[in-house]
């Protein structure tokens, strides 16, 4: 019975240690500002140059959704040629940018998208590593608990044998 109590204590301590590590690593991870980053990039593509007088041409209501879909389907900024051409046309019409300037803005957005995709890969890699470490600590805690439990049971049995042989 004592061995089980020791094992339970070690499991509780291991759980507390593991949860503390999870909370510490979680607080170190920077939060994502926007749950859907493609919306930020779509808005960046469609906004004007900041010139108040430059309102740009009116575009169809579905155009922002199409642009958002194109951006969402290319999370690393690798737009297909036909999508890039469509974006250049929309940007040229919407923002009064020349086609080369629209192409430059698309390239800027693509660079930012690639950087964000790389950050997400790094976050996922870090989370995977933390998961492996936590699994190792959990397994080692349980193994230490089992070994401690075994040693306590063996010592208890030896003590009981001594008491029985001594006639107590």
Instruction: Report d(CA 29, CA 44) in Å as an integer.
Output: 26
Q: What is the pLDDT of residue 97?
A: 80
Q: What is the pLDDT of residues 7-59, one digit of tens each?
A: 778 778 877 877 777 677 655 555 555 557 667 777 767 766 544 445 555 66
What proportion of the chain, given as a percentage, has pLDDT over 90?
2
Q: pLDDT of 82-124, one tens digit each?
A: 888 888 888 887 777 888 988 998 898 889 889 988 988 898 8
Asked if residue 59 lies in contact with residue 90, where contact means CB atoms within 8 angstroms, the answer is yes
pTM higher than 0.85 for the full model?
no
Element (H, E) at 51: none
Give the length of the chain. Answer: 168
pLDDT of residue 53: 46
Query: Residue 154 and residue 164: Cα distance in Å, rounded?
Result: 15
Residue 160 has pLDDT above 50, yes or no: yes
pLDDT value at residue 122: 92
- 45 compared with 80, residue with greater pLDDT: 80
């Amino acid at each position: 019975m004592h061995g089980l109590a020791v094992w339970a204590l070690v499991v509780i301590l291991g759980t507390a240690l593991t949860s503390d590590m999870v909370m510490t690593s979680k607080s170190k991870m920077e939060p994502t500002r926007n749950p859907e980053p493609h919306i930020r990039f779509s808005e960046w593509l469609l906004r004007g140059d900041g010139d108040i007088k430059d309102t740009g041409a009116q575009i169809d209501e579905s155009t922002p959704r199409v642009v958002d879909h194109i951006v969402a389907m290319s999370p690393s900024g690798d737009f297909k040629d036909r999508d890039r051409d469509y974006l250049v046309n929309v940007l040229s019409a919407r923002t009064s940018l020349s086609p080369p300037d629209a192409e430059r803005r698309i390239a800027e957005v693509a660079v930012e998208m690639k950087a964000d995709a790389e950050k997400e890969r790094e976050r996922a890699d870090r989370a995977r590593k933390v998961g492996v470490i936590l699994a190792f600590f959990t397994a080692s805690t349980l193994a230490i608990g089992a070994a401690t439990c075994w040693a306590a049971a063996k010592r208890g049995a030896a003590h009981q044998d001594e008491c029985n042989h001594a006639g107590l």
